[in-house]
Homo-oligomer: A and B are copies of this chain.
C-alpha cells in the first residue's frame, strides 16, 4: 500500500475513478470520453467536470488492446540522418504527410532506419503494433522491410518505387520520363556533350533518371560516353565533387543533367569555381523543383515532381488500407519541365 506511491508519477486516474467522482459507472464515463451520442447532457457535464478535476487522460495501451488501433502512423526513413536532414524533398514530404495525417486526427512519428541493426529494431517496433500504418521512403537496394510489413499485415505505402518486384503499393514520380524531358531540352538547346550526375544506383529513382538520360541521347542519336557519367548520393557536396571530376575528364562538356536539385546546386558552385558560365558554357538541368532551385544563381531549370499530388496519393492509399481495403496498386505521377535560367 504505502509502497505504491513511493516514486514516479502518482498513478494516473482511471475511468473507474472518474466515474466514482462523477457518481456514474465507468461505462458511462467511457461514453462521454468517446463522444458517444447516448449520454444525457446532464451526466455528460458532470462527468466532464470530474475529468477536468482529476486531469484524466485515457490510457492508450488499454484502449489499443481492445480497439486494436493506435491512431499513429510512422514515416520510416532508410537513410542516414545527415542525408535526410539536408534534402528538401524529405522536408516537404514530412510536412505534407504530417498535415494529411493530422487531418485524420492521427499522430505522425518519424523513425530512422539505417544499418541492419536499426532495421531490425524498426521492424520489431512496427510489428509489435506501435502504429496503424507505415509510409516507407528512400529504399535502397532490395530492402526486406516492406515485405516484412505486408506479411505482418501492416498497412504500408512506399514513396518511390522499390527495386525488384513491388509487392507493396507505391507512389512515385515519372522519373524516367522526367529525365528524358530534361535531356531532350538540353539537346534542343544545341548541347551535344551532355554529362549526367546520377543518384545512388542502388535506388530505383537513381537508375530511372539515368535511364531517362540514356533514352534521350539514344533517340537523338548522340553517342554515349562512359566518362560523361558520374554517380552521386543526392547531397550538395556530391554534386560539387561529381561535377569537378566531370570537368577534369571532359573539359568540353556543354550540358549536364543532374539527378537532384540539391546536387545541381553543388554542381553550379563547382562550375562557377571552374570559371564556366551557366548556361552559356554549360547548361544545367536539375530534378525535383525544390524550393532552392529558385535561389541558386542562375536559377535552376529543373524537372518538377508534383509533390502535393504525391503526398495526397500516398496518404489516400494508406488511409484506404488502414480502413480495411487492401490491394496492391501503384501510382506514377507525371513530371514536367520548369524553365529557369540555368539552361
Interface residues of A in 98-131 (CB under 8 A from B): 98, 102, 107-112, 117-118, 121-122, 124-125, 127-130
A295 within 8 A of B: yes
Report yes or no: A82 in contact with B72, Cβ–Cβ below 8 A: no
Number of A residues whose C-beta is below 8 Å from B? 56
**Chain B, Cβ-Cβ closest to A85:** B91
Against B, the Cβ 8 Å flags (1 = close, 0 = not) of A62-90 are: 10110000101010000011101111101
Q: How far is the CA of A72 from the CA of B128 in the complex (A)?
A: 12
A37 within 8 A of B: no
The 8 closest A-B pairs by CB, nearest first: A9-B153, A110-B110, A61-B64, A85-B91, A109-B109, A60-B128, A61-B65, A81-B91
Report yes or no: A58 in contact with B107, Cβ–Cβ below 8 A: no
A340 to B: closest C-beta gap in Å: 18
A interface: dominant SS: mixed
A144 within 8 A of B: no
Residues on B with beta carbons closer than 8 Å to the beta carbon of A7: 324-326
Report yes or no: A81 in contact with B95, Cβ–Cβ below 8 A: yes
- Which residue from B108, B117, B129, B130 sits with its C-beta under 8 Å from A72? B130
**Chain B, Cβ-Cβ closest to A124:** B57
A25 within 8 A of B: no
